[in-house]
Amino acid sequence: MIPFNKPYFTGKETTYIEDAVKRGMISGNGYYTKKCQAYFQESFGFKKALLTTSCTDALEMCAMLANIQPGDEVIVPSYTFVSSALAFVRQGANVVFADSKKNHPNIDETKIEALITNKTKAIVVVHYAGIACNMDVIMAIANAHNLLVIEDAAQAISSKYNGKYLGSIGHMATFSFHETKNIISGEGGLLAINDDRFINRAEIIWEKGTNRAEFFRGEVNKYGWVDTGSSFLPSEIIAAFLWAQIENINVIQYKRLELWHHYNIALKEWAKTQSIQLMPEPKTETNNAHMFYLVCKSMGQRDAIINFLKSKHILSVFHYLSLHSSQYYKDKHDGRALPNSDKFSERLLRLPMFYELDVVEVVEALVSYKTS
């Protein structure tokens, strides 16, 4: 069976984990945590980078930093992972779901302004498949209405928009290092802060509501409980694993892009014959090859292709189900139809994508599928 995903190991992960143990501090915010955070700040231009135990935790930190209160409204795309909305719901927000674009699962920036009310506090954008949302328009809307923009860049490591790294444009951003992502630590995430107003408080929330980080830098002579927070920082074991991945990020990205372009070229003619849309090639954005997906002409066709590939011992999967119609939120949604989000929920199909993939075998199997 060719799996949908297979974690890639560089060979240095256990070496650095052993080194972290020998250093005598594995509880977090030690040698490897600092190395990883410095890398992200220096290479991606974030004003502050904090490792977290997951992207979900980083999003929860964003909700705290945005001071979301019960009754506040947060605009979130419906076609996304539950964490994009859950982090704000936990703070008492009413999530106002936005539709996707017609030709891409990203949020439709032309529909955002109509959703803004005097209760709106933030706009969450999700860079689906590592392809940027229209950040110029979104930031202009946010600035005009004094709103925060939070980039859910879980899938978008190394991607750019008009020359800027994703995650460096909004007020805050989050990344995932889950084992399905381009670089991984098993579980793990990152909070990026680009607005000076949030830097000091982010460290406090990260350290269980204490000013412990300031104490260890010698900025205060004792530390105590000064704010809300939780235990968001990961152990040095996770950070050491991640550092091995970071050292190889360019090699990993190059290989994934090779696989992506092979899919894109080899499947074009077949896709036309099957009335299937391939993942669009970016224009003002870059592509980090996080995934390669197809948009089938119907749910029936998608399910048939999944079953066909499975018979060939290849695992392909669908992706998100629209959050506005989820069991938990459907009675809280305002009733608007979000047809594009539903279209991608019903018709999008993800093909295997991982460093050691035999992409030729997948393509050969897929092009042998013909609609009956």
Q: Is the pLDDT of residue 221 over 80?
A: no
d(CA 345, CA 349): 9
Q: Six-digit token pair at 362?
A: 């997948």
Q: Is the pLDDT of residue 372 over 70?
A: no
d(CA 268, CA 370): 14
d(CA 8, CA 356): 8
pLDDT in tens, 52-82: 999 999 999 999 999 999 999 999 999 999 9
Q: What percent of the chain has pLDDT over 90?
A: 93
Cβ-Cβ contacts under 8 Å for 7 (sequence gap 6 or more): 179, 184, 186, 354
d(CA 239, CA 13): 10
Beta strands in the chain (DSSP E): 48-52, 73-77, 94-98, 120-126, 148-152, 160-161, 164-165, 172-176, 189-193, 277-278, 293-295, 348-350
Torsion-angle region of residue 229: left (phi > 0), alpha (psi -120 to 50) or beta? left
Mean pLDDT (the chain) is 96
Phi/psi of residue 178, nearest 5 degrees = -60, 155
Q: Is the pLDDT of residue 214 over 80?
A: no
d(CA 18, CA 241): 10
Query: Per-residue confidence at 284, pLDDT binned at 50, 70, 90?
Result: low
Query: Per-residue confidence at 371, pLDDT binned at 50, 70, 90?
Result: confident
pLDDT in tens, 113-172: 999 999 999 999 999 999 999 999 999 999 999 999 999 999 999 999 999 999 999 999
- Contact, 256 vs 32, CB < 8 A? no
Provide the 3-class DSSP secondary structure of residue 76: strand
pTM: 0.96
pLDDT at 8: 97
Write out the DSSP string of 122-159: EEEEE-GGGPPP-HHHHHHHHHHHT-EEEEE-TT-TT-
Work out the number of other CB atoms within 10 angstroms of the CB of residue 224: 10
Query: What proportions of the chain, in percent to the nearest 5, are helix, strand and coil?
Result: 40, 15, 45
Q: Which domains does the chain have, with CATH numbers?
A: 13-247 (3.40.640.10), 249-367 (3.90.1150.10)
**Integer angstrom CA distances of residue 104 from 150, 161, 176, 282, 318:** 19, 16, 21, 11, 15
By the 10 Å C-beta count (0-12 exposed, 13-18 middle, 19+ buried), 1 is classed as: exposed
- Contact, 155 vs 287, CB < 8 A? no
Average pLDDT over residues 104-118: 98
